Structure 1
Amino acid sequence: MASGHGNIPEEVIESVLARHDIVETVGKVVHLTKQGKYLWGLCPFHSEKSPSFTVTPDRGVFHCFGCGMGGNAIKFRMEIEGLSFPEAVRIMAEESDIAIPEGKGGPLSPPDPERDRLLSAYELSAKFYHFLLKNTEYGTAAMNYLRSRNFSDKMIDQFQIGFAPDRWDTLLQFLEKRGFDLAEMEKGGLLSARGEGKGYIDRFRGRVIFPIANRTGKVVAFAGRILGDGQPKYLNSAESRIFNKSRILYNLHQSKASIRKMRQIVLFEGYGDVISAWEAGVHNGVATMGTSLTESHVALMKSLADEIVLSYDGDKAGQAAALKAIPMLEESGLRVKVAVLPGGMDPDEFISRHGAESFMERIIDSAVSAIKFKLIYLKKNHILLEEDGKIAYVKEALQIIATLHSSTEREVYLREISSELELSYDSLKQDCNLLRASMQKNMPEGDNNDKRWNNGRHKKGQVQAPTLLPAYHAAERRLLSLMIQDPEAAAYVGERLGEEFNIDDHAAIAAYLYAYYAQGKPPGISRFLSSLQDDRLEKTATAISMMDTPPDWNTQVLDDCIREVRKYPIQRKMEQKREEMIQAEKSGDFLRAAQIASEIITLERQ
C-alpha cells in the first residue's frame, strides 16, 4: 500500500480529511464570518485587528493573507496544538472512530533524527531525575519538601516529579555515557554552555524537577523549582524545536480525556496547583508554562473546550492576572468563570487547609461569572461605608454592567447592587441605559459589532491590494493553480515544461503534483497538501490554490504561460550579455563586444 507518511495508510488520511470539515475544525477556534465564497476571521497564528484569515469550504483549506500560514484541517490542528503530522492524524482518527491498523501510524517520512534524539534524551532524563528523588540521598530534602506540600507518593509517581542534585555534571555524565551529543543537548535545553569552547554544565541544579509533556505525553521540557532561597524560583528548559512554551499547557496529556468529556478547562497558575487539584478530583486542570496567557494558549483551549474556569491565586497579583486573562478568553468566544479564593490563598494552600471536598464545592463548583468577579474585585478598591466610595464604586460597576448584551443579565447585577447599597433600582437602570446609549454612539463603524473581537473595523469586501508579480512568476502560479485543479492540465504542462520552473518552490510543487497524479489520485488541494512534506511548500501551494483562476482552460492559455516561464531565463541571459558587452566596450575590446552583440541577437530571436 503506497504511503508518503511512514506507516499511516493513505485511506486513513483521506478518511480523516473527509470526516473533519475544515469550517467546523477552524470554527472551534476562530469566529468566522461569511463573505462571498470565503469565511473570514482573525488569524490565530499572529496578532491582527483586521481579519485576513480565510477558510474556503469547497477547497477544504485555510489561508492567512497576513502571515502566509495555510493548509488543510490536519495542518490546522498541527499548528494550533503543536502536533506532528502522525500525532494529529492519530488524534483526529480517534475522534472520528477511524481505525488505524495495528502497528501503523509511525513517524512521518522522512524521519527527523535530531527531534527523536531530543525526545529520547528528555524521556531518559525524566526517569533519571525521578530515580534520584525517590532512591538516593540527594533526593531526601526534596522529598521532605514535597511531603510538606502534601504531595502523595502516588502523585509524585504519576507526575514523574524528580530532583536535580546541586552539582555541575550529574546529568552531563548521564547523557555523555549514553552517547548523546552535548552540543545538541545544550541546544535542546538540557545543558548550559560554560562559555565559548569551555564545555557544558547541567542546566538544572538543586531543583525539584517537573517534567513537561506535549499533548501526546512525550516529555519535551522541564520546569525546575529551587529548593530553599535563590533566583529564579522556577527555571524552564530553553525553547527548542520540540518545546514552545506559548503553545504548551502543563498536564494537557493527562487531562484531555476529561476536558473533551466536560468541554471545560480549569486553568491554574502553577504546576503544584494542578497536581494538588488533580488529587482533589479536578481532572480537567492545566497550567500555562510559567508565562502569561498567550493567543496560542487561547486558540488551543478553544479547540478543546467551551468554558474556562480561572483558578488563579487569591492574592493581588493572581487576581490582576485573572482580570488580564478574561478579555482574551472571552474574545475567542469561550465562556469564562472565576474560582474565587479567600484570604489571598493559592489553590494548593486552600486544599492543604480545607481539604479536597471543600475545594471542589466552595471553589470550583462555586466559580462566579467573569462580570461577577470584576464587580467583586472592584468592590475591594472602594470604601463602601463612605458616600464618595459608594458613588465611585457604582460609576465603575455601571461601566462593566453596561457592556452586557443581555438585558436579563444587566437586571440581575443592577438589582444586586441596588439591594446591597440600598439604592433605587430604577435610577441605576436609567444610568446604565444612558451609559449604553453613549457607548453605542461612540462604537467604531464595522461589520461585526456583536463580536467586536473579530471586527477590526473593516468594511465588507475590503482586501489588501495584492503585490504585482513579475510576468514569469504570475505565469508559474497560474500554471500550478490549473494543475492543482485538473490532472489533464498537469499532464500537458509536464510534457512541455516538466520541472523547468524558475522558482525552486514552484518546481518542487510541480514535481509533487506529477507524482501525486501518477498514483491515480483525484484533484483537490486538501488531499494534495497531505502529500507534501515541507512546511514552506504547504503554505505556497495553499496560497496558489486561493487564486481566482477559472478551472476551464485551453491549450492556448497553458502555452502562453509556458512561453512566459521559458522567456525569463533567456531575458536574464540577455541582461548579463548586455553588461558583458558594455564592459568589453569600456576596456576597448570591440571585437569581443561585436561577438556578444551577435549572441544577444540570437537570444532575442529565441
Structure 2
Amino acid sequence: MSVGRIPEEIIEAVLQQHDIVDTVGKHVHLTKQGKYMKGLCPFHSEKTPSFTVTPERQMFHCYGCGKGGNAIRFRMEIEGLSFPEAVRAMAEEAHIPFEDRAFRPGGSPVSREMEQLLQAHEWSSKLYHFLLKNTEHGKPAMDYLKSRGVSDKAIDTFQIGYAPARWDTLVQFLDKRSFDLSAMEKGGLLSSKQDGTGFVDRFRDRIIFPLHNRSGKVIAFAGRILGEGHPKYLNSPESRLFTKSRTLYNLHQAKTEIRKSRQIVLFEGYGDVISAWEAGVHNGVATMGTALTEGHASMMRTLADEIIVCYDGDNAGQAAALKSIPILEAAGFQIKISLISEGLDPDEFIQKYGAERFRIQVLDGAVSAVKFKLIYLKKNHILLEEDGKVAYIKDALEVIAPLPSPTEREIYLKELSAELQVSFDSLKQECNQFRQAMQKRSSYGDNNAKRWNNVRHKKGKASMPTLLPAYHVAERRLLSFMLQDSEVARYVGDRLGDSFNINDHAAVAAYLYAYYAGGKEPDVSRFISSLQDDRLEQVVTSIAMMDTPEEWTTQELDDCIREIKRVPLQAQIQRKKEEMVSAERAGDFLRAAQIASEIIALERQ
C-alpha cells in the first residue's frame, strides 16, 4: 500500500527519523509544560503561547489558528511544500532511499500534465541560458548584462537566459521533444496565434529570468525586453504552476541564509536581488512585478522574524514601502525600511557606490517602520511655516500615539520635540489626549489592529466559551478513544458504523476502520499521514489533543453512542409532530392519533 503514490514504508520511516520536537524546535522556541511543549505559533502573530507540541503523540496543534498535524505537516506548512516535496526533503535529510513515484506513467493525468509542464520549463530554461552564453543571437543580451555589472558567475547562479527575436524558437524546441503544445500554451510557455492556427513563442527578444518554486523547480519566466518595445517587463501568466501572489524570486536559493539569520531583505525586482547577491547579501527575495500580498507575507514569516524592505528610493518606491508596512505588521514581522538616497534603486546604488556602502548605509542603516512613517509624512509639509509644522505634529502624533510601549512613544516624542523646537511636555500631553480619544473610539477588545488575536469581549465582561451540543461532544469523545485503541474502533464500528451526525466525523471514523483493518497499531501521527486531506487532518489533530483518559468502559462508549443516535430520532420526532399538527388542522383525527402512537414509540427509543 502507498499513500499519495509514496510507499507507506517511506512515510513511516520519515516519521520515525524526524521527532516532532526536533522538527518544530528548529523554528519555534519550546518550553516544557507537563507532558506538553509550548511556544509562540509560527503561523500567526501572538503574544501568549497557544502553540502546543505533544511528544507522546508526535503532533503539534495551535489553539489560536487551528493548524496542526505531524512532523510532515509541519514541514509542509512552514516551508510551503506539497506532501511529496516534504516527504522527499525529510527522507533525504535522514538518508532514507526515496523513489519518487508521483509522476510514473501509471499516475493520474493531472500528475502527468504537471510533470510535463515542469520538465518543459526546466528544458526551456536551459535552452534560453545556452542561447545567451553560446550563440551570436545572445551576444547583444550578454553585452547588456555586462554593462549592468552582471558577472558570468551571477548569470550561471541565476540561470539568466535570452529568448531570440523569432516567433518559433521555443515552439520548435518543444515540438521536437513531443510536448503537447496546447498544454504548453496553458502553462504559459507559448501563445496562441491570433487566427487560432498554431502557437508562437511567448518571449521574444528578451533577457529571461527563470522563476523557481521553493523547491528550486522552474515554474515560470520573467522577461526584460532588450531593445525598445512594450511591455518592458513581461512575466509568465498565472498557471497551475505559477501564482504571483505566492511566488518570491530567489526564495529557493535565499531560504538557507534566511533561516540562519531569521532575516529577509525584500526587494521590488529581480535585478536588485541579483546585484545584492553579488554584493554579499544572500537573504534577498523580490515580488514579481506585483504588489506585496498577505500570501507573500505569510510565506516569508514562516522563515524569518525580521524583514528589511529595500524598495526604490523614488516616490513610487517609497509609497510602495509604506503600503507594505500594515501587511507585514499583520504577519508579525519586526520591520525596517531602507532609505536610498538620490532616488536610486538598490541595483543602481550598488553600481554607483559599491557593495560595502550598500550593506552599511542602506541595510544596516534601515529605520523602524514608525521612523519611516514620520520621515514620509514630513515630506508632505512645509515645516518653515507654522501651519505646516502644526499639521505635521498632528499627523506624527497619529503615528506615535497608538504605540503600546510608553518608552517607545517617549523616544519618538523627544526626537519630534528636538526637531521642531517644540516643548516635549506639550507634545506628551497632546499624545495622551490622542490616546484617550482612541480608547473611547475603541469599544471592542484590546487589540483592534489584529482582531484574530484579540480579547473578544468588552472590558469588564467575561467571554463565555462556545458550548458544543451534547452529540458533538459525544462524537469527539468516541473518536478520541478510537484513535487510542483499535478495540474501541471495532466496538463502535459494530454498533454505530459511520452514523455520525457530523460529516467530517463520519469520514474520520470510516478512515479509522480502514486503517485498523489493515492490521495497523494505534498511532495518531501515522494515521494523519494516511488521510491526505487538510480539513480532516485538522479535525483529527484537534480531537487527538483532547485530554481523554486511556482507560475506558463499555458503559461510557454506550452512553456516547446513545447520545449520537438520539439526534436523528429527535429530528424524526419533530417531523412527526409537525405531521400530526397538519393532520389535526385538516380534521383527520384518525391519522393524527396514528402519528401520536408513532411519536410515543420513537420517544421510547
Structure 2 counterpart of 1:352: 351
1:236 Cα deviation after fit:
2.1
- Which deviates the most, 114-123 or 11-20? 11-20
How many pairs are equivalent?
555
Alpha-carbon distance change, 303 to 69 in structure 1, aligned in 2, over 3 angstroms: closer
Structure 2 counterpart of 1:330: 329
Alignment of 1:230-379 (within 5 A): 230-379=229-378
Alpha-carbon distance change, 389 to 491 in structure 1, aligned in 2, over 3 angstroms: same
Deviations 1:221-259 (A, max 9, x none): 111222334333322223333322222221111111211
Deviations 1:317-362 (A, max 9, x none): 1111111111221233211111101121110111111121221121
For 1:492, what is the secondary structure of its paired residue?
helix
For 2:382, what is the secondary structure of its paired residue?
coil
1:159 Cα deviation after fit:
0.3
Is 1:104 the counterpart of 2:112? The answer is no
1:74 aligned partner, one-letter code: I
Structure 1 counterpart of 2:79: 81
Match of 2:20 among 18, 21, 25: 18
| Conserved? CA contact 1:314–1:341, under 8 Å | yes
Q: Distance in 2 between matches of 1:375 and 1:271?
A: 29
1:276 Cα deviation after fit:
0.6
1:293 Cα deviation after fit:
1.5
Structure 1 counterpart of 2:597: none
Structure 2 counterpart of 1:185: 184
Alpha-carbon distance change, 155 to 77 in structure 1, aligned in 2, over 3 angstroms: same
| Conserved? CA contact 2:268–2:286, under 8 Å | yes
For 1:235, what is the secondary structure of its paired residue?
strand
Q: Distance in 1 between matches of 2:267 and 2:186?
A: 29
Q: Distance in 2 between matches of 1:10 and 1:288?
A: 37
For 2:286, what is the secondary structure of its paired residue?
strand
1:279 Cα deviation after fit:
0.6
- Which deviates the most, 8-17 or 313-322? 8-17
1:400 aligned partner, one-letter code: V
Is 1:441 the counterpart of 2:440? The answer is yes
- Which deviates the most, 504-513 or 216-225? 504-513
Structure 2 counterpart of 1:590: none
Q: Distance in 1 between matches of 2:37 and 2:260?
A: 32
| Conserved? CA contact 2:91–2:97, under 8 Å | no
For 1:309, what is the secondary structure of its paired residue?
strand
Is 1:523 the counterpart of 2:517? The answer is no
Q: Distance in 2 between matches of 1:501 and 1:108?
A: 34
1:108 Cα deviation after fit:
5.5
Q: Distance in 2 between matches of 1:388 and 1:85?
A: 60
1:201 aligned partner, one-letter code: V
2:79 aligned partner, one-letter code: E
Q: Distance in 1 between matches of 2:191 and 2:200?
A: 5
1:84 Cα deviation after fit:
1.9
| Conserved? CA contact 1:63–1:70, under 8 Å | yes
For 2:255, what is the secondary structure of its paired residue?
helix
For 1:118, what is the secondary structure of its paired residue?
helix
2:12 aligned partner, one-letter code: E
For 1:428, what is the secondary structure of its paired residue?
helix
Asked which structure has the greater RCO (Cα within 8 Å, sep 6+), the reply is 1
Alpha-carbon distance change, 516 to 437 in structure 1, aligned in 2, over 3 angstroms: same
Deviations 1:439-480 (A, max 9, x none): 23333331557x7464356237567787x99x9x99988765
Alpha-carbon distance change, 81 to 192 in structure 1, aligned in 2, over 3 angstroms: farther
Structure 1 counterpart of 2:128: 129
Structure 2 counterpart of 1:173: 172
Alpha-carbon distance change, 290 to 552 in structure 1, aligned in 2, over 3 angstroms: farther
| Conserved? CA contact 2:11–2:87, under 8 Å | no
For 2:165, what is the secondary structure of its paired residue?
coil
Q: Distance in 1 between matches of 2:88 and 2:519?
A: 25
Q: Distance in 2 between matches of 1:153 and 1:343?
A: 29
Is 1:427 the counterpart of 2:426? The answer is yes
| Conserved? CA contact 2:265–2:310, under 8 Å | yes
Alpha-carbon distance change, 65 to 399 in structure 1, aligned in 2, over 3 angstroms: closer
1:515 Cα deviation after fit:
4.8
Structure 2 counterpart of 1:581: none
| Conserved? CA contact 2:214–2:252, under 8 Å | yes
Q: Distance in 2 between matches of 1:121 and 1:103?
A: 27
| Conserved? CA contact 1:169–1:201, under 8 Å | yes
| Conserved? CA contact 1:207–1:226, under 8 Å | yes
Q: Distance in 2 between matches of 1:40 and 1:276?
A: 38
1:101 aligned partner, one-letter code: H
1:485 Cα deviation after fit:
3.8
- Which deviates the most, 326-335 or 118-127? 326-335
- Which deviates the most, 104-113 or 320-329? 104-113
Q: Distance in 1 between matches of 2:2 and 2:277?
A: 44
- Which deviates the most, 456-465 or 419-428? 456-465
Q: Distance in 1 between matches of 2:90 and 2:179?
A: 34
Q: Distance in 2 between matches of 1:62 and 1:414?
A: 42
Q: Distance in 2 between matches of 1:517 and 1:222?
A: 47
Structure 2 counterpart of 1:212: 211
Match of 1:458 among 439, 456, 459: 456
Structure 1 counterpart of 2:383: 384
| Conserved? CA contact 2:42–2:301, under 8 Å | no
1:497 Cα deviation after fit:
7.2
For 2:335, what is the secondary structure of its paired residue?
strand
1:100 aligned partner, one-letter code: A
Alpha-carbon distance change, 14 to 461 in structure 1, aligned in 2, over 3 angstroms: farther
Alpha-carbon distance change, 461 to 193 in structure 1, aligned in 2, over 3 angstroms: farther
1:366 Cα deviation after fit:
1.1
Deviations 1:134-175 (A, max 9, x none): 222322332232223211111111100111223332212211
For 1:231, what is the secondary structure of its paired residue?
coil
Q: Distance in 2 between matches of 1:165 and 1:38?
A: 57
Deviations 1:33-87 (A, max 9, x none): x9xx999999969xxx999x98665573548999x97644532542453312243
| Conserved? CA contact 1:265–1:286, under 8 Å | yes
Deviations 1:253-287 (A, max 9, x none): 11112112211111000000000111111111111
Q: Distance in 2 between matches of 1:426 and 1:549?
A: 58
1:105 Cα deviation after fit:
6.8
Q: TM-score, normalised by structure 1?
A: 0.77
State the percentage of identical aligned residues: 60
State the superposition RMSD in angstroms: 4.4
**5+ residue gaps, structure 1:** 29-33, 576-603
For 2:291, what is the secondary structure of its paired residue?
coil
1:520 Cα deviation after fit:
5.9
Structure 2 counterpart of 1:413: 412
Deviations 1:81-103 (A, max 9, x none): 33122433455688xxxx52253
1:509 Cα deviation after fit:
4.6
1:203 Cα deviation after fit:
2.3
